[in-house]
Structure 1
Amino acid sequence: MFQAVQAVLFDLDGTLIDSAPDLGAAADKMRTDRGLPGLPLDDYRPMAGAGARGMLGVAFGMTPEHPEFLTYREEFFVNYENAMTERTVIFDGVHAMVQALQAMGMPWGVVTNKSQRFTLPLTAGMPLFASASVVISGDTTAHSKPHPEPLFEAARRLGFEPHRCVYVGDDERDIVAGRAAGMGTVAATYGYLGATDISQWQADAHIDLPLQLLKLIESA
């Protein structure tokens, strides 16, 4: 489907890794520390892609406009920082997909909105990312997705033109950013989408399993 692809870039949470258990646990600890009953992971999972905003929304019904939001957010960050790889796992099929990309001689990398504070230790602590050619965090550039600049920066570091790259993500902002960067776009439906209607995103393709990506680029 995609022609002359030279590299594949991925979102992180919900695309390569299932971090919902650790994100949910960080927020739920805030509840139990306040004497509130814990909530099941299933309550947190659909909002895992929204980071602190999503987790605090589930845990406390709190929005960024709340006067204590920044204080609560930092507490959440500290909780997450202290245990961000305890329950996080690689999605089934991702290891095999990455191995296949390597066998094809296809460089791959990560472009996430997660800040370097978390991205760098997390990727350093998981063997999967040892073969990543580039890791771009939400604060690597002056902009985060859906702005295309993080994707442009990844392409620059790889030494490829953006239109020679494919970007895979599980959130609409991933597809918006990829389209704005001129990259081929793939929506990953196995992450945190829930009942989301991805047909509105206008992605070039979608995959229900990580290994399905290979069929989109094998003949590129």
Structure 2
Amino acid sequence: MTFKTVLLDFDGTLADTNRLISESHFVVMEENFPGRFKKEEMAQFNGPSLEEIYGNLDQSRQQELGARYREVMLAKHDDMIGIFPGIKEMLENLKQEGLRLGVVSTKRSDVLKRGVSILGITEYFDTIIGSDGFSHPKPDPESLFLAMERLDAERETSVMVGDNHHDIVAGNNAGVTSVFVGWSEKTTSFIQPYRPTKIVKDPQELEEYILSGMRA
């Protein structure tokens, strides 16, 4: 398989924001649902959209709770966001090989682009799509189709890379290759029921997998 287009999730895939997200959700949970969740249970909220998370908890206050989360998260954002080791080198190598790269996230576009900029990786991406750019978040494939349209990509030569089942299911639903990254919070045993095409342990292995068809 020769890939031409690589779509990547942001949080937990490119950016090490797991602690930022967990701590921000915990503040909101303690304010609004005191004692209902333990801090170590916050990992379950890394990945789903805010609409899904807070809609499931209290549909009538979904927007209010989501807005409060953004307020808390933004106050911590610039100090707590980081990049996983090897990501920048991988992106540079993929770009040098002529691949088209895109970010597809459930994070709002302004915050997403701010994060990409802080990490110093904006130059590698041909498109960056946040939650305000589509109606149905992952695992619905809408955002992937939008990115593929912008990049003039075909399903057969596209890959979706992510750290959560929402990314994998979205990739499978879109008919593209789905790759789970093993360097974040979710485990291999967690993701296997969602049937990713490939599981990689680090950015170097991801790069090798994507470029293997071009170098065969």
TM bin, normalised by shorter chain, reads 0.7 to 0.9
Q: Say whether residues 1:85 and 2:85 are aligned partners.
A: no
Instruction: Determine the structure 2 residue equivalent to 1:72.
Output: 65
**TM-score of the two chains, using structure 1 as the length reference:** 0.81
Within a 5 Å distance, the mapping from 1:90-109 to structure 2 comes to: 90-109=83-102
* Distance (whole Å) between structure 2 residues aligned to residue 14 and residue 46 of structure 1: 12
Q: Report the counterpart of residue 6 of structure 1 in structure 2.
A: 4
User: Cα RMSD over matched residues?
Assistant: 2.8
State the alpha-carbon separation in 2 of the partners of residues 178 and 67 from structure 1.
31
Aligned to 2:196: 203
TM-score under structure 2 normalisation? 0.83
**Residue number among 45, 70, 73 corresponding to 1:47 in the alignment:** 45
Give the secondary structure class of the aligned counterpart of 1:146.
coil
For 2:197, give the aligned amino acid: D
Shift of 1:81: 2.1
* Secondary structure class of the residue paired with 2:42: helix
Contact 1:11 1:170 in 2 (8 A): yes
Q: Work out whether residues 52 and 77 of structure 1, in 8 Å CA contact, stay in contact via their aligned partners in 2.
A: no
- Same amino acid, percent of matched pairs: 23
In structure 1, the partner of 2:13 is: 15
By how many angstroms is 1:31 displaced? 7.3
How far does residue 216 in structure 1 lie from its aligned partner after superposition?
A: 1.4
What amino acid is the match of 2:159? V
Q: Distance in 2 between matches of 1:171 and 1:27?
A: 17
Query: 1:72–1:179: structure 2 CA closer, same or farther, 3 Å change rule?
Result: closer
Q: Deviations over 1:99-122 (max 9, x none)?
A: 211221222111111122421322
Q: For 1:50, what is the secondary structure of its paired residue?
A: coil
- Does the C-alpha gap of structure 1 residues 138 and 31 become closer, same or farther in structure 2, counting only changes over 3 Å? closer
Residue 173 of structure 1 corresponds to which residue in structure 2?
Answer: 166
1:187 and 1:206 in contact (8 A); partners too: yes
* Equivalent position to 1:151, from 144, 151, 156: 144
Displacement of 1:208 after TM fit?
Answer: 1.1
Contact (CA 8 Å) 1:20, 1:44: kept in 2 or not? no
Deviation of residue 18 (structure 1)?
1.1
Distance 1:18 1:94 in 2: 11
Corresponding pairs, count:
211
Q: CA deviation at 1:72?
A: 3.2
